[in-house]
Amino acid sequence: MSDGYPPSSQPHQRSLLERISHFLTGEPQDQEDLLEILRESEEKHLLDSDSLAMIEGVMQVSEMRVRDIMIPRSQMVVVPREAELETIFPLVIEFAHSRFPVIEEDRSKVVGILLVKDILAHVLQNKPLKVEDVMRPVSVVPESKRLNVLLKEFRTERNHMAIVVDEYGNAAGLVTIEDVLEQIVGAIEDEHDDDETQDYISQRSEREFIVSALTPISDFNEYFEVDLENSECDTVGGLILQRLEHFPKKGERVEIEDFNFEVLRADNRRVHLLKMKIK
């Protein structure tokens, strides 16, 4: 039955009534509505800024993928499968990581993970061992996996590191549980971190880079041998805000000279992470 209305008008009427009903109830209809309610709660001091930032981080993690935060293959600190354990001690001491990818032939083929605590368990035995004798199986994830799914897998499998593979099954980089958690709570520093040697720029491919918004413009200019204007701001994130003239959302893009920037992570106070491509 048409109830006196033309059939073609009924879907429109129902849709309109639903929108009015949702508006009157004040229930958030999408993620942006929810964020607006949370930000208003912070303004009314019902929610502190740190809690808001973490909630925003959790919501962003559900949209981000492994490729957005992974450490590129070129920056992985690796150990050869056939290496004698005693020969890698200087490398382990220099980088002070708890886990190292084990490679065969080259970095594109990761065959295991070496845990430093496993080395300590065997070194006192004074037996000639190779890396392959103590390495553990490697966990592999695709570049497209969502971070919230990866975090759940890390927790259920009690794993802290995974090797990221491309469509051909070659290692493209690595990701750790700390990398994922930092997207929620911010940078996690330990006694081995050195602020003065922080890596602000990570190369993904020949013309694509991941850039921290905190990268000083002077460092960016030196890295890419350019001369971006920096008279009114000190960081790349500040430069992005200056060009956009508003706090950007994830996915917003801006062109600056020969560079295309895309916002990977931002909240209502600042930009956190950018993807940059050279034209």
pLDDT-derived band at 184 (thresholds 50, 70, 90) equals confident
Do residues 97 and 180 share a domain?
Answer: yes
Do residues 106 and 77 share a domain?
Answer: yes
* Closest to 102 in 3D by CA, of 133, 129, 81: 81
- The better pLDDT of the pair 255, 120 is held by 255
Contact (CB, 8 A) for 90 and 46: no
Domain contains 52: yes
Do residues 134 and 171 share a domain?
Answer: yes
Do residues 76 and 135 share a domain?
Answer: yes
Q: Bridge partners of 72?
A: 173
CATH assignment at residue 273: 3.30.465.10
Distance between CA atoms of residues 65 and 67, nearest Å: 5
Do residues 77 and 45 share a domain?
Answer: no
Domains of the chain: total: 3
CB burial readout 98-111, b (16+ within 10 A) else e: ebbbbbeeebeebb
Do residues 183 and 217 share a domain?
Answer: no
Do residues 133 and 238 share a domain?
Answer: no
Domain contains 17: no
pLDDT for residue 242: 84
Do residues 205 and 161 share a domain?
Answer: no
Residue span of the structural domain in which 48 resides: 31-61
pLDDT for residue 30: 65
What global pTM score does this model have?
0.58
Instruction: Give how far Cα 179 sits from Cα of 68, 115, 264, Å.
Output: 10, 18, 14
> pLDDT tens digit string along 17-32?
555 444 444 555 666 7
Question: Among residues 191, 224, 244, which one ends one of the domains?
Answer: 191
Domain contains 120: yes
Domain contains 141: yes
